[in-house]
Amino acid sequence: MEHLHVMYAADENYAPFLGVSVFSLLENNRDIEKITIYAVLDRVSDDNKSRLTKMVDSFGRRLVIVNAVEFNKTLKELGVPKYRGSYTTHFRKFFHLFMGDEVKRFLYIDSDSIVPGNLKPLLDLDMGDCVGAVVLDALANKYKLLLGFRPGETYFNAGVTLIDVDNWKANRCTERLIEHITTKRAAYCNPDQDLFNILLRGKTMVIPCQYNFVPVHRAYSDRAYAKNYGFENYYSREDVVYARENPAIIHAYRFLGEFPWHKGNLHPDTPLFDEYLRRSPWADYEKKPSGVGFVFRCEKMLYRILPRDWFLTIFRIITDRMTYRKEMKLRKS
């Protein structure tokens, strides 16, 4: 029997969006025989847990709720830095604490994602001796060089990752992760993602970008993207066009400092998010302002008034400089 195992993680702030993402996944993958959702929850309210449980039950699927208390203790003892005040982004690396031996492969999906497509092809994917199947990061061509990666090496966006459990164990990934955090370095510009890329270096296979389609390809033209980031060592223009028309997983991460669930946002994925929010058990969610600071408000204003090509160039230049300074500062700390 085909069986899709999917892992999510969230605290109370992200619980409604985890729920919307799970709803979209279940709605669009009814043809998969069996689906188990593992939700690692950090201090999530009984109300959100109840809504999630009833929703998954209504689709005839299995839900495993995991209390994140032990994860928090372990990560704190290891000295792993929180990301935006939470450890949730690191939970996937410790899946062995709650997944049984029957799980041979699982798909991790960030809570800020919508799943409008079918995931069945991932069940039959031949991963060989690879630990992870991943999508290349759209904005990291320059940044990955700071981490010691070569131009042609894989640096992926960790928001969607398909993990082969046996290969993970064979490569002692958990042990190597703990060793790296405790003896080498724990703090990075993109804490979870950088650690994951370093850990799985040379042990990943690249899958189509439709499985982790990101805002830059929906907000800007391919010409603007090519000018600022280039398609070299990335997907082809044709790959991106196909993914735009046939997305399987849309990763609606921060855009201009805001998410689709913020009031008054300019996120390109807001219409799609709103559609699934309206149809989900969280239809009563009331959007609130993001409360972003002065820099993001200026960024938003420039996005409104400048030609998109100009704005993307300015964004790239500023982001590259800020990331470089942050990386140099972390190395000294």
What's the pLDDT tens digit per position in 123-160? 999 999 999 999 999 999 899 999 999 999 999 999 99
**Looking at residue 267, what is its pLDDT?**
98
Residue 269 lies in a domain: no
pLDDT bin (cut points 50, 70, 90) of residue 217 is very high
192: nearest Cα among 64, 71, 44: 71
Distance, in Å, from the CA atom of 101 to the CA atom of 5, rounded to the nearest integer, reads: 12
Residue 300 lies in a domain: no
- Given a cut of 80, whether residue 47 has pLDDT beyond it is yes
- Given a cut of 90, whether residue 81 has pLDDT beyond it is no
**Looking at residue 87, what is its pLDDT?**
76
Residue 289 lies in a domain: no
Residue 244 lies in a domain: yes
Distance, in Å, from the CA atom of 290 to the CA atom of 296, rounded to the nearest integer, reads: 10
244: nearest Cα among 275, 266, 221, 273: 221
Residue 277 lies in a domain: no
Residue 98 lies in a domain: yes
Dihedral of CA 131/33/67/213: which sign?
positive
**Looking at residue 3, what is its pLDDT?**
97
> Which CATH number does the domain housing residue 200 bear?
3.90.550.10
One DSSP character per residue, 109-130 reads E-TTEE--S--GGGGG---TT-
Domain boundaries, position 139: 3-257
Helices (H) then strands (E): counts for the chain: 13, 9
Residue 309 lies in a domain: no
Distance, in Å, from the CA atom of 71 to the CA atom of 89, rounded to the nearest integer, reads: 11
* Domains identified in the chain, total number: 1
Residue pLDDT, tens place only, 236-266: 999 999 999 999 999 999 999 999 999 999 9
Amino acid in position 210: Q
Residue 316 lies in a domain: no
Question: How much is the average pLDDT of 44-67?
Answer: 97
